[in-house]
Structure 1
Amino acid sequence: MNLFTIFVPSPSSLWTTIRPGGAFNIACSFAALWALIKVSRMLRWRVKTTQLLGPTRTSLVYGVSRDLISSHDRAAIYERWATEYGVVYMIPSVLGQTNVVLCDPKAIAHFYARETWTYVKTPLTLAFLESSTGKGLLWSQGETHRRQRKALTPAFSNAAIRKLTSVFYDSAYKAKGQWDNVIESSKDDEVVIEVQNWMNHISLDTVGIAGFSHDFGSLDGKRVSVAEAFDTLGNNPPSAVGRAVFLLASVFPIILKIPNKRQNLFKKLGITMEKISNELLIRSRREKDANMSQGGEENSLIGLLIKSEDQDAELHMSAEEVVAQMKVLLLAGYETTSISLTWVLIELSRHSDVQTTLREELLAFGPDPTYDQLKANLPYLDAVVHETLRLHPPVPESTRLAAADDIIPLSEPVRTVSGNMTDSISIAKGTLITISMEAINRSSTIWGPHAKEFKPDRWLTEDGIGGKAKEVQGHRHLLTFVDGPRTCLGKDFAVIEFKTVLSVLVKNFVFEMRDGPDTPVEIVWGVLPRPRVVGEDGTGVPLRVRRYE
């Protein structure tokens, strides 16, 4: 008899065996095996991970996650828990999961130094990024991330950004010209302008020209499909049910594949960005061939991407990766800069004295500053920009998964569940680690008693940045651009664009909140959290704008 027939029954005989209830038994066996694996991992986690104090769960299903995701000030909750439980603590999360929250500069520096290798993106984050931007720089990890980042780095060098400064000015002056026309056609000396929409236009046109040598023309009133897709997301924030589904997806990422309104909008945005990226790639490949025949050279980001498509390129990227990088740049260039520009106009409208001081510095300086002057010669502009980035980081928090066991050092000891004090914590493989960049940037313990206030002057004196804040590693002691191997590649691009646009607008216009300096502003979610004046639709931020005479 054939041994194969003894050990591997035919499909028909197998079906005969399981048909009377065997299928149910097999399903139960798989469920039991799954449960056994989960329990064994949980036991290992409890043995290998330092058990820390933290808040009690408020929901059997969601832990405290639903409280956080529905809060208007998540950072304040994280900070309150740090005061109560110590610089690191544990919070109960979805379906029995536990997150370790780091609020200690030394622990955070250790974490970021090992991000993308020891600490990696969660399955939920990977699934979301792959579906929206593809397998580009935001999605990639480890060696793949190192290769992609190295290929893109020349496009964000000081020399490259110095050449792009004129592009930033062009977009700012286009907006100025349009606003001048609106004011001239008005019967009054001032008009109400919905500034967030204009900041979106500036950001989109800038990233199009600077990154892809393509003018989307949104400042000229052209309809741009990708801008409409972003706006649609901003006008449709997640519902309570949508937030609950997203939380459950942290345990079962496959839930993201279940169609719902918001998921469909993200899918539409991804398709739109991919279509635009492919069109720009086709055009740029043709121009590259023409330039080569004329001895020309393409130095934009898209030029680097096209070079990386060559099979012989040292840092080769697949066609899928190239399109993904373009989608990442569109997303990051559009969302983050426009959010920061909107926030600074809100803060200047609330603080007329700061706005006046900034305008005086800019006018006293004279002509439009160069790249090097923007970096070094305008201290108050620099202070206003970094105070905005401190209070309003576009990405407020992140959660990572430990891919290996680790020991995280602390700058001060914390009490464990057993009552012992420890100056380091053990982290087991599979542990979830959360850092609230917003909470660290605004922490009173780190930044002093006025941490929640908009005070650019803190950046101008030697003792303005306290000792604890100086322990925070990252760009200017901020976590806005994170740190380590995944430090935002475009941070210098973003800061110079921010300074350029702000300098033009503040020199030429005066900004006020439409309904007074105490007008309440809330947070709504588009792709990222955006400000909105309470009572407005979508992401509306109407300000009173008049020419500065």
Structure 2
Amino acid sequence: RLLTTDTRALHHLSTRDDIYWKPSSTRYSLGRVVGDGILITEGEQHKQQRRIMSPAFGPNQVRELTPIFLEKSVKLRECWDRAIQAEGGKSAHLNVLRELSRMTLDVIGKAGFGYDFNTLDNGEEASELSRAFGTLFGAPVNSRQWLLLQAWIPPLRLIPGPGDKAEKTAMETMHRIGRDLLAQARAEAEQAEKTGSSDFKGRDLFSLLVRANMAADLPQRLRMSDEDVLSQVPTFMVAGHETTATGTTWAIHQLTQNPAVQSRLRDELRTLDTDTPTLDELNSLPYLDNFVKEVLRFYSPVPWTARVAMRDDVVPLEEPYTDKKGRVCYEIKVRKGQQFLLPIHCLHRKKSIWGEDANEFNPDRWDAPSDAIKNVPSVWSHLFSFSAGSHACIGFRFSIAEMKALLFILVRAFEFELAVPVDDLKVRASVVQRPALISQPEATAQLPIIIRSAA
């Protein structure tokens, strides 16, 4: 296995999707949950899915979904106001990761499928679909360990694991509800076609995907199968839920550690005297933009990704190295089957790119970024957080808009303080990197915060 932060190599590994795929272990473990969703497919199947799905994640579509992001953010603010009153009216103690996870689940339910989870009001048990999702992603430690072993040792996949029965039931629930959503979206699209209306009811991502897949000018051979469409239900929930919740959690953590940044951000956000700014208005706030960029640099929710060579190749390098024989090399010869680890977290702390203060949190760096960051492969702001190339995160605009909406509503309303000693915090990294407490090694990921109404 090879590891690199060389920007030219990363560009090659990210864009040559005819040579480099996700490793089979990654595709197996993700595939147990999402089926043949866009997160794991490769080759022509991936191109087909991305071609049909991309329009649903375009700038105009995300702009139309922004009111949902704001609506659910306001709902969360109201929940926190009630929590303060319940604790005496001055402050409240919260696990902000859990709170944000509930909010982003409600967002992906409504914006993704037109489906109301109502987890902010009633908890994760409120709906059948959220319960199924919780079963898949809240698996006990022994189930996760067994899945990891099965991913790396294929013969073990023939042996039933401790969570297989519950996982199967949850997947059946997801597919049953997905089939209902698919039938509803098709019926609405067909009705719109009959009436000649271009403004049919479904504006959620799933409805837009179904409509694009039914387009009259799309040849049958290029259409996604029902199974491929249904696989996007858990895919949307995986990709559009925990990553944004985790990123915003780290954002709030940084606000607790940088009171001056917190005050400056709040002052800027309060220049917009509304709870319903447009996406263009959110994007016009320069310090908010800098802050979100710096959070995603400093704490990329997904800390790494991987690729495996499907055939022999030669990978070009930006920075040459000297081999054992003293030769200066500008490329790496790769054999079929060799794996590359692409450490996003390390790339984002590389001093030759970000400067000597790369390990410091500094939103102001984005006012005058170095020329070196232009070499980082990216789909947004020279950050590798959303990957690059044909496998770049299709929902990056969705995630950024949701994160900005959350911060806009919450930072104007509350002051944040860490509820535990900062030395008790650690990063628990798996598919996403979450905060956890050293003093509670068996506990789930969490970030205990004290909130107060902001003056």
TM-score, length of structure 1 as denominator length: 0.75
CA distance in 2, matches of 1:333, 1:522: 24
Amino acid of the structure 1 residue aligned with 2:57: F
Q: Give how far 1:406 is off.
A: 1.7
> Among residues 400, 405, 416, which one is paired with 1:500 in the alignment?
405
Q: Give how far 1:499 is off.
A: 0.3
1:84 equivalent in structure 2: none
Q: Give how far 1:304 is off.
A: 3.1
2:263 equivalent in structure 1: 356
Amino acid of the structure 2 residue aligned with 1:317: M
Pairwise mapping of residues 143-542 of structure 1 onto structure 2 (< 5 A)?
143-221=44-122, 223-228=126-131, 231=134, 238=141, 246=148, 249-250=151-152, 252-261=153-162, 270-292=171-193, 295=197, 296-297=199-200, 298-307=202-211, 310=214, 313-314=218-219, 315-368=222-275, 369-375=277-283, 377-460=284-367, 462=368, 465-474=369-378, 475-516=380-421, 518-524=422-428, 528-536=432-440, 537-542=443-448
Q: Give how far 1:394 is off.
A: 1.9
Amino acid of the structure 1 residue aligned with 2:412: K
CA distance in 1, matches of 2:132, 2:445: 14
Cα contact 1:132–1:267 (8 A) shared by 2: no
CA distance in 1, matches of 2:342, 2:430: 21
Cα distance change on mapping 1:270 and 1:413 into 2, 3 Å: same
Secondary structure of the equivalent of 1:136? coil
Amino acid of the structure 1 residue aligned with 2:177: I
Cα contact 1:131–1:267 (8 A) shared by 2: no
Pairwise mapping of residues 48-59 of structure 1 onto structure 2 (< 5 A)?
none
**Which structure has more RCO (C-alpha within 8 Å, separation ≥ 6)?**
2
Cα distance change on mapping 1:349 and 1:144 into 2, 3 Å: same
Deviations 1:345-403 (A, max 9, x none): 1111122111111001111243343211222x211111111111112222211221111
Deviations 1:121-142 (A, max 9, x none): 2222222232210112112112
Cα distance change on mapping 1:430 and 1:144 into 2, 3 Å: same
Amino acid of the structure 2 residue aligned with 1:215: D
Matched length? 443
Pairwise mapping of residues 87-102 of structure 1 onto structure 2 (< 5 A)?
99-102=1-4
Cα contact 1:385–1:499 (8 A) shared by 2: yes
Cα distance change on mapping 1:247 and 1:454 into 2, 3 Å: farther
* Stretch deviating more after TM superposition (382-391 or 122-131): 122-131
Cα contact 1:196–1:540 (8 A) shared by 2: yes
Cα distance change on mapping 1:434 and 1:379 into 2, 3 Å: same
Cα contact 1:522–1:532 (8 A) shared by 2: yes
Cα distance change on mapping 1:443 and 1:227 into 2, 3 Å: farther
Secondary structure of the equivalent of 1:511? strand
CA distance in 2, matches of 1:387, 1:484: 22
Q: Give how far 1:244 is off.
A: 8.7
Q: Give how far 1:310 is off.
A: 4.4
CA distance in 2, matches of 1:481, 1:545: 30
Pairwise mapping of residues 50-69 of structure 1 onto structure 2 (< 5 A)?
none
Cα distance change on mapping 1:363 and 1:304 into 2, 3 Å: closer
2:34 equivalent in structure 1: 133
CA distance in 2, matches of 1:390, 1:409: 25
TM-score, length of structure 2 as denominator length: 0.89
Q: Which runs of 5+ in 1 are unaligned?
A: 1-98
> Among residues 124, 127, 134, which one is paired with 2:25 in the alignment?
124
Deviations 1:425-468 (A, max 9, x none): 111222212211111112233322222222112112x2xx3343
Cα root mean square deviation, aligned: 2.6
Cα distance change on mapping 1:269 and 1:304 into 2, 3 Å: same
CA distance in 2, matches of 1:451, 1:433: 24
Are residues 1:108 and 2:13 paired?
no
Cα contact 2:417–2:450 (8 A) shared by 1: yes
Are residues 1:543 and 2:446 paired?
no
Cα contact 1:233–1:526 (8 A) shared by 2: no
Cα contact 2:135–2:167 (8 A) shared by 1: no
